[in-house]
Every structure is written in structure tokens, then in C-alpha cells.
Structure 1
Amino acid sequence: MIDFGDVQIFEGVTTYPAILTLRKGDSGDGGQLRFLAVTDKAPEDIGREFARRSTSMPRARLGKGSWQFEDDALAALRAKITGGRKALGEVYGAPLYGIKTGLNEAFVIDRATRDRLVGADPKSADLLKPFLRGENIKRWRIESDDLFLINTPRGQVDIEAYPAVRDWLLRSKDALEKRATKQGWWELQQAQLAYQPFFSKRRFVWPDISPEARVAWDDSSSFLDCTAFFVATDDEWPVAFLNSSLAWFFWRTLTPDVRGGFARLKAQFVSQTPLPELTPPVAAALQTLATEATAHATKRRHIITEAGRRILDLAPPDRRKLTRKLEAWHDLDFTAFRAEVKATFKTEIPLRERGEWEAYLSENAAEVHRLSAEIAAAEREIDAIVYRLFELTPEEIALLESAIAGQH
């Protein structure tokens, strides 16, 4: 078995290929198979690479569920983590997911549009709900785009009673009528009506696709897009646990890869996450660390965003977006920052303003780095607590951390 993961073999086409070779008859190898995971680029000589780097594992590990190709050490570690523990789905119930509109361009609006609709007809406010997408969920924090959902579940709304919303949706009537499912042209495709009462509850949330553990606490009562999952609960400690290295290790052994090292964190995978047994003091400690990390991450984002808005003051009127380098202004020294401003905006920072800009950026960059260090410290403490809860040895911790770093 050769698994190429998300290493792209065919130019211009995104694929996830694998090579599986089978032979009928007695293998004579004691029920073993050999596998090779290609993680960097396709080798020039696959046969030689397979002979040099492939690993053996018992065929008996291939069950009816998803197949896990891993060596004995990783298999033993995963078995220890899962053994005898309740899964998240057993404790909290199956994770829920958000709404599928069928046409976001019609049903998802910005604040300016929301305010215009309410100004034209105050009753419109009854249908307009704060809205979060999976991409708004980051590690420890929510980054809202200030969007709103036109909430028109099937059979629940007389659209003629909301003329401003009706007129807005009429602009997209042709496209709305072409959707695959059967509902009124003004109605959401999958409104998740049964789930909607849970949107107003306290919860932890995560996106469906992510390059890292991105779990955040959310009590905003926002409606969610179908690219976001959530568990409604008053327990906040799972936010810390699910952002731990151990949880990410478990997810990476279970979930399918997506191009670029992203993982699909669908409900059926996250619901299998083994939960530790913990005492109230340990739960409180994890909750405190999660709260601290959330506060630091939120403050850091605020500083970065506010500085970004100020940097745009240097831009020409038609330029309203920063380059990646300028978005990461806190990682640039002032000379590099000036050079990027000149290259991007085709202008220099005025001489009389340079001292003020340098002081402003230096002070705020120092605070960003301080907050990053505080978050990292909280995450290390969370990992230490979680490792103790699962009784991992130093050797097992090293194996786990090398695995999630792609070094095993």
C-alpha cells in the first residue's frame, strides 16, 4: 500500500491517489502488510523508496471502519488514548452543524444591507440573524465578518409580510428557483429548523476544514453556516482539551486529509474523540486556561486589526486590502515595513510621520509578541495537564508530538 496523501501527482488536477497491490494465496508473512506514506513529493523510483522506507503492520487492524496505516508504536499510542474512555458524542450527544442556504449570495448579507432592509421595513429585523461561517472560527477566538442570515425556514415565513426582504430576494429569484431541493423560492434549502433553538445556547464551535485544532467558545447566539459544527453545553473546559496536541493527534489519525495538510473535522470524526475523566479542580484549571488563551487571542487580533486599518490610511483611495506582508506588520522591522508600503502603495511614508509610525508599530508589535507568548504558555500548560490525564510517558509524548509535526 502506497498512500500519496495530498502530494499532487497529476499536474493541474487535485487528486488523492493511492496504490494498492494484492495477491491471492498464502502470504507467508504472518498476516502482515507493508505500507508507505508519501508526505513530501513523489519519489523518482517508487519501488526503491518502498523497499527502503515502508513499514509493516498486521492486516488484522484493517476493520470495517476507516483504515489506519500506522506502525506498532503509533497504533499502541492511539489504543492507549482511546481505551476505556467515553467519546465526546456519548457525553454531549452528536455535534450539530449549521444552515445550508442553497445560495449564500441571496441569503447572507452584510450589515449595511441589513440596516437598509430594516430601515425600509422594521419587521425585517425578525428574519435577520447574526451569522458565522466556518472560516470565522479560529483557534481560541471568533472573527466575525458582521454578516446576517435571512432566516426563512420552509413553511414558516409568509414572505409577503416582509416586503423589504421579499424585494431583496426577488433579485435572485431565478437562481433560487433552480436549486436542487423543493421549497419556496424564498426559503432556505436546509434551515436546520430543529437545531435553531440551540443556536442561542452557549457552545463550543469549530470549522469543518482546518489546518490545526481551531475550537472556540461562543455565546454570541449567532446562527451558523453548514461549514461550522457545534456542541451546546455550559462546559467550557472542552475548548482547552480539544485545542490540545493530543486531540489534534487523535483527529489526524482518524480524519481524511485535504490538500495542504488540512483535516476534515466532520461530526462523525469529532464525536469519536475520547474524553478524559477529570475532577472538578482539573476541569476548572482547563477552563481557566481556555479563558486566558481566548482573552489573549482576542486582544491580539484586535491590535493586529486596528493597526491594519491605520496602515490602510497610507494607501491610495482605491486600495482597501493589505498584502500578506502588511497583514503581518508585527513581524517586520521598520525598514522592511517602509519598503513594503512603498512597493504596495507606490508611496513613501512622509518624513515627518516616520518617527511616529515607527514608535506606534514597535509598541504594538511588542504587545502582539507578548500575547503570543502568553497563549503559547497556556497551550503548553494545557498539553501538560492532558498528557497527565491520559497517563502518557515521556516517550509517548515525544512520539505524539513528532507525529503531529509530520516527523514520524
Structure 2
Amino acid sequence: MKNGHLSSSTGFDIIIGNPPYVEAKKLKSVSKYLKDYHVYSGTADLSIYFFERGVNLCKEFGIISYINTNKFFNTGYGKPLRSFILNNEIKQLINFEQVEVFEGVLVSSVIVNIKRNKPKTDNTFQYQKFYNLKHKDFITKFVDGFQKKQYYQQANLTNKEWSFSDNINLSVKSKIEAIATQLSMIEGVSIYRGVTTGFNPAFIIDNKKKRELIEQDVKNEPLIKPLLQGRNIRKWIYNKGNENLLFIPWHFPLNNNIEIKGNSDKAEICLKREYRVLFDHLFQYHNELSNRNKEETGIRYEWYALQRCAASYHEEFDRNEKIIWGLTADKWAFAYDSKQNYLPSNGYILTSNVVSIKYLLALLNSQILKYYFGFIGVMTAGGAYTLKHSTIQQLPIIVADNPKPIVDIVDQILSEKNIDPLADVSSKERILDKLICNLYQLSDDEIDIIFG
């Protein structure tokens, strides 16, 4: 053995395992050792490293057979692992997406067999996918699946996201990409994450508490922002909630003093003197707030301040219009906000200085971008969309020379939904999708593929 690698003539013929899943944030104590791995990523879970270790412990032509979470298919941290696997020969891959393999346990996982051997250019491997199955249905489907063997070309996979699509769907994807631009490259468009409190009970208050704080001291009013949770957000619109955010930035009320670089006793004294009602409200949570992130609370910022206050971009929440969505959503849904709502850390906003917000909203809510998400996105084990910043910014956007026809229909949809949130706007959505399909120059056959 040399540097943790066995020679090609020694090592194991086969390694069978179920690597442990431990989140990256719990690996800080061992991260310096993990950085030696080719598959290293600062956000990778522990199971990722077992693939490289397993292959390196095999002799040449030896095989690892793992059952593991399939999150590495479509995550940024999975890219180094995808590259590593593709430098070896995939023999078999069984993908379980939202499947009750064991009764009452919904999982998204994969069984993968990898041979320690440089793959041939024409290598194919046995591939099965089982999707959205209850336990009783899975047993039957699993047996049937192995009687009808399917194969996939390894050459169709790159270190980009693995969707295991057929050649027809890959062709549609490539066409969309060829004529569109990633959202992250569109001039004037920005995506921001919501605010992190570190302890919600101190900072998230209901309308009754809001009224009390304002009645006791009117100076509190500008610090209380309307707050939307992901559960409030629907397609096009949102349901108004009963929650508000106490927006207390670092070093408040001296937050505009650029000379303050860390925790400020002076700021705390000033808060207690000038905002006594607010101070008393926060002080009842002093212990909980002080015990937040120990590496920062009381060091970088005061115990009473938000953990992450969007210091460099909180003004973006106060824009006259923006697009909002939650990190996880049971339906494909982006909403229009013109009421300066704030979002928590599991929500996102999109602002634009050039392209119409309502035009971008139409594209985001379109069937085309929902279809494209299937290639690059991650679903939760329960079947919800994971709408991360890094995923949304990859969506392919075409900026129309004349966006007005699309914006006009969005205005009609928003008008109807604001009058009646349950209004049926499906006919207008079909018109929008048709206009957007024309924008992406899709043929009738390609449209049929996208709409299934």
C-alpha cells in the first residue's frame, strides 16, 4: 500500500457497503484529512469519500457495490465524485427516486456497481429507475424491472448533472441550451437568500405582538417587516401570513457606523437607551440568543442581532417588485411580490434592473423551465422540488425583444388571482406556454416531449 492506495495486483476483488451519511457541517473536525481526496468538496457529506476510498482499496478490475443516497447526481458538491466515477467503469446502476423500499420509509437512493478499470468509449451499463412507488407496488415493479433489462451509455454522462435521459430528451435539452443564456448571466438579475435569525421565537412575531411593540414605542415600526414563509408561496401569488420579522442588523442602532468591526458594547447600551421596549422583548431570550453560533455571537455581532441580516443586500427586500420562492416546494411555484415582504433563510428573492420581473416570472413558472429542472435539479425523498440558488441560476433564459405580450398575460393572471386566489387561470397559462415555446423555437414534436 502507498498513500492509501493498493497496487493493481493486490487489494479486494469486491467491496460491498452502505456508506454513512453525515452532513458536511458535522465534518469540521476531520475536514483537513478529507481535503486529500480527489472527490473533496467543502459541502460534501461523508458518504462521498467512501467511493474513492473503496475503489482505491480494490485491485485492478475489482468492484465496489454500494447503496447510497443519490444526491450526488445533481448537486454541486457531487461534481468531483461524478468525474471520479466516470474515470472508472460503471457496471450497474439502480436508481430509487421517492420509493418505499422498506414500508413506511420513503427514500431517494442508488445501488451502484463500479469496476476499477478505465472505461471503454462504448461502455454500457445496466440501468433501472424506480420512481414514486409505495412499498406494495415497489415489490412488483422491482421484479418486472429486472426481467426487462435496460442499458445506458456511459458516454452520455459527464461531470455535469446526471439525469439519465434518453437521446431524444438530451437533444431537446441541448437545443434549449444552445439558444438560451443561463439566468446567472442575464444582465441586472440577482438572486438573494432570506434572513437567518438563529432563533426564530425572538425575531418572528405575530400581528398582535407587532401592534403591541408599535403602541409602546412608535420608533419600532420601521424595524418590523412583513414576513412570508415558504408555505405561504403559491404559483403567481402568495397567501398573506400573520408573521413579521424584527429586523435587527448587526451593531444596531449604530449599524451605519463603519468604524464598528465586531461586537459593540456601545451599540448595546444605545439600544437599551433608545429602544427600551425592543430591548426588553429581546432580553427575555438572552440565553438562547447568546448560545447561537458560538464562533460569531458576541464576537462578530451582538447577542440581540440577527445571525445573518443580509447586510449587503437587505434593501433588495424593499423593492417595489420581486420574485419570491421557497427552498423546498411541493409544486413548481414562483410568486410576484410588490409588498416588500421579507423571507427567512429557507426562501429566496430575485430582483432585476433591466429585464421585466413579470416577464421573468412567466418564464420561471413555465412548463419549459420546469422540464429543464428535471435535468439539473434535486427532488426531496418526499417528492418536493429543491429550488436552490445554484440550481435556479442555471435555468436557460431567453430575453424577448418584445416582452409585452407575455407581460400582459401575467398582468391578467395576477389580477384574477388577487381577486380570487383560487381562480382558474389554466387557459391563460396555456397561452403563455405557447408563446414561450415559440420563443425557444421548439417544434411540435419537441413540445409534445416537454409536456409529456
- TM-score scaled to structure 1, two decimals? 0.75
The residue type equivalent to 1:268 in the other structure is S
Q: Structure 1 residues 53 and 177 mapped into 2: Cα distance closer, same or farther (>3 Å)? A: farther
User: Is 2:438 the partner of 1:388?
Assistant: yes
Deviations 1:224-253 (A, max 9, x none): 211221121261211111111101111122
Q: 1:2 aligns with which of 91, 94, 104?
A: 94
Aligned match of 2:243 in 127, 147, 150? 147
Matches within 5 A, 1:271-310: 271-280=393-402, 283-301=403-421
Distance apart, 1:12 and its partner CA: 5.4
Distance 1:90 1:2 in 2: 36
Deviation at 1:104, TM superposition (A): 1.3
The match for 1:62 among 134, 140, 157 is 157
Paired residues for 1:177-216 under 5 Å: 177-181=290-294, 182-183=296-297, 184-201=302-319, 202-216=321-335
Is residue 286–residue 382 contact of structure 1 (8 Å, CA) maintained in 2?
yes
Unaligned runs of 5+ in 2: 1-92, 254-266
1:119 alignment counterpart: 215
Q: Check the 8 A contact 2:130/2:142 in 1, yes or no.
A: no
1:299–1:34: structure 2 CA closer, same or farther, 3 Å change rule? farther
Post-superposition shift, 1:391?
1.6
Residue-by-residue CA offset, 1:376-400 (whole Å, 9 max, x unaligned): 1110001101111112122211211
1:95 is paired with a residue whose SS is: strand
Q: Aligned-pair RMSD on alpha carbons? A: 2.1
- Is 1:23 aligned to residue 118 of structure 2? no
8 Å Cα contact 2:197-2:308 kept in structure 1: yes
The amino acid across from 1:216 in the alignment is A
Task: Name the SS for the 2:107 alignment partner.
Answer: coil
Distance 1:77 1:113, change over 3 A: same
What residue in structure 2 maps to residue 162 of structure 1? Answer: 275
Deviation at 1:190, TM superposition (A): 0.8
SS, match of residue 305 in structure 2: coil
Q: Quick one: which of 379, 398, 407 aligns to 1:257? A: 379
| Residues in 2 aligned to 1:99 and 1:40: alpha-carbon distance in whole angstroms | 33
CA shift for structure 1 position 149: 0.8
Q: Percent identity?
A: 21
The alpha carbon displacement at 1:179 in A equals: 1.1
Conserved in 1, the CA contact under 8 Å of 2:195 and 2:308? Answer: yes
CA separation of 1:239/1:46 partners in 2, compared to 1, >3 Å: closer, same or farther? same
- Deviations 1:143-199, CA, capped at 9 Å, x for gaps: 121321111112233431211112212222222122125222211111111111111
Q: Secondary structure at the match of 2:108?
A: coil
1:272-302 deviation line (CA, Å, top 9, x unaligned): 111124222xx1111111111112222222x
Say which of 324, 339, 344 aligns to 1:225.
344
Change in 2 beyond 3 A, CA 1:300/1:237: same
Cα pair distance change 1:25/1:224, threshold 3 Å: closer
User: Shift of residue 64 of structure 1?
Assistant: 2.4
1:310-331 CA-partner distances (Å, limit 9, x unpaired): xxxxxxxxxxxxxxxxxxxxxx
Give 2:82's aligned residue: none
What CA deviation, in whole Å up to 9, does each residue of 1:73-109 have, x standing for no partner? Answer: 1111111111142111110444111101111111011
Deviations 1:356-406 (A, max 9, x none): xxxxxxxxxxxx6xx31xx1111000110111111212221121112xxxx
**Which is strand-richer, 1 or 2?**
2
**Pairing of 1:240-255 with structure 2 (within 5 A):** 240-255=362-377
Aligned mates of 2:288, 2:103 — CA distance in 1: 34
- d(CA) in 1 for partners of 2:147, 2:442: 32
Structure 1 segments unaligned to the other structure (5+ residues) = 302-367, 403-408
CA shift for structure 1 position 134: 2.2
Q: TM-score, normalised by structure 2?
A: 0.68
Question: CA offsets, 1:256-282, max 9 Å, x none?
Answer: 1113321101111110111124222xx
Asked if structure 2 preserves the Cα contact closer than 8 Å seen for 1:199 and 1:223, the reply is: yes
Of 26-35 and 290-299, deviating more is: 26-35
Aligned to 1:32: 124
Number of residues of Structure 1 aligned to a counterpart in Structure 2: 329
* Alpha carbons of structure 1 residues 83 and 186: separation in structure 2 relative to 1, 3 Å: same
CA contact (8 A) 2:122 2:155 kept: no
Deviation by residue 1:198-229 (Cα, 9 ceiling, x = unmatched): 11112112221123321122121222211221
Matches within 5 A, 1:100-115: 100-115=196-211
Q: Which deviates more from structure 2 when the two are superposed, residues 121-130 or residues 22-31?
A: 22-31
In the superposition, relative to structure 1, how do residues 125 and 276 fare at CA in structure 2: closer, same or farther (>3 Å)? same
Question: Partners of 2:412 and 2:101 in 1: how far apart?
Answer: 44
Report the Cα offset of residue 44 of structure 1: 4.5
Asked if residue 128 in structure 1 is aligned to residue 227 in structure 2, the reply is: no
The AA in structure 1 aligned to 2:246 is I
